[in-house]
Structures are given as C-alpha cells and as structure tokens.
Amino acid sequence: MSCGLRRSEEGGTLVEVLVGLTISALVVMGVAGIYYQMVVTRNYVDDSVAAYTQIQRAGAFFSRDTVQAQIVDDNNLGNDATLQIAVDQDTDIAGTEVLVLQWTDWNDDVVRVYYSLADVAGSSFKELMRTTRVNGNVVESHVAGENLDSSIDTETSLNRTRLEWVDDDKEIVRLVVTSEYGQESVTRMYEARPRARV
C-alpha cells in the first residue's frame, strides 16, 4: 500500500495537468488582451493628438491674421448661397486659394497673407498653405495645417475644410477645419472679426 502512495506523490494526475494548462492559458490570454488594449489606446491617443495639433495650428494662424486684416479678398465667391470664400488665383501660390487677407503694418508695408489648400502627393488629404507677401514680395511660405479633409460632407453639402462668412454682413470670417489621422477625425470652427476697414 505504501508503494501506491509513493507513486501518486511523485507526479500529477491528468486532471491536475489540464487544470494547470487552463489556468496558464487564461493568464496568457489576459496579458495579451491587456497588451492589445494598450496598443489600441496608444494609437487612438496618438491619432487624436496629431489631429488636434493640426487644427489648433491652423486656427491659431487664421485667428491672428484675420484680426489684423483690413481687407478680406472675396471678389470671387465660390458659392453665394453658402457664403464660402474663394478668391481669384495667383499662379505663384501653391494650391487653390481660399482666402486672402491684407493689412498695412506700422512701417506702412502692405502685408498680404494667402491661404490655399494644396494637394498632398499620394493622398486624398490637403495641406493648408500660408504664404505671406510684403509689398508684393514673398517673404514666407509654410504649411499651417496637415492631413486636412476637404471632401464634401453629405449631411451639409459643404466642404469639411472651408472658409466662409458667418453672415451676409461679412463682418466675421469662419474657418471650419477637419483633420484626420488613422481612424480619428476632428473638426473645429474658428471665428474672427477683421479689424476696422480702412
């Protein structure tokens, strides 16, 4: 009888091995699930931060320039019914112009800032380009916002990224900007009133 006891103490039964494997599998699945959630959350946060960064940068440039503007060029409205702004094209400016702001600074220099939507190679997204001319000479040109979605919104029939007058009085200009990274899409509106016209 003592021999039988000794043999069962030396190893585990098949049931014990199966229970151990089941517990191990549950632990591994739990760790894998946690890791997967961390990766998904990180990607979501990265995409959200990138999209918010682009729209905030575009909004900051737009707001600063618009409040200085004495003239808002809207001689060629794209659609009178929607008040969207589209201007005559300057072939030296990259992309399709959507807004031109002008003011005279304290040196009596005439500053014109051109906003345009430029294509991005290999992508359906656009870049918001900002080009500054002082007395007719280009002094600066850079990207004010990236990964912008300018497609037509099926609900509103308006571009997802656009510049428009808030009302018929043309006192306040609105920038609606949509940036998309990965699965994350963010839309914000910025409104600014140009300073008194000269």
Q: Is 78 in contact with 84 (CB distance < 8 Å)? A: yes
Task: Give the pLDDT score at 31.
Answer: 87
**Whose CA is closest to 129, among 120, 139, 119, 142?**
142
Please state whether the predicted TM-score (pTM) of the whole model is above 0.85. no
Q: Is 190 in contact with 177 (CB distance < 8 Å)? A: yes
Cα torsion 151, 152, 156, 160 to 10°: value is 20
For 137-188, what is each residue's pLDDT tens digit? 989 989 999 999 888 888 888 888 888 888 888 888 899 999 998 888 899 9
Task: Give the pLDDT score at 88.
Answer: 66
Tokens of 149: 């979605």
- Whether the per-residue pLDDT at 91 is higher than 70: the answer is no
How many C-beta atoms surround the C-beta of residue 165 within 10 A? 18
Q: Is 173 in contact with 165 (CB distance < 8 Å)? A: yes
For the chain, state the CA radius of gyration: 29
CA distance linking residue 71 with residue 116, whole number of Å: 17
20 pLDDT band (50/70/90 cuts)? confident
Task: Give the pLDDT score at 123.
Answer: 86
Partner residues linked to 194 by β-bridges: none
Strands 96-104 and 110-119: antiparallel
Q: Tokens 């990224």 identify what position?
A: 161
Tokens of 129: 């380009």
CA distance linking residue 125 with residue 117, whole number of Å: 10
- Counting Cβ atoms within 10 Å, is residue 1 exposed (0-12), middle (13-18) or buried (19+)? exposed
Task: Give the pLDDT score at 5.
Answer: 52
CA distance linking residue 12 with residue 3, whole number of Å: 16
Task: Give the pLDDT score at 46.
Answer: 85
Average pLDDT, the chain: 83
Task: Give the pLDDT score at 155.
Answer: 87
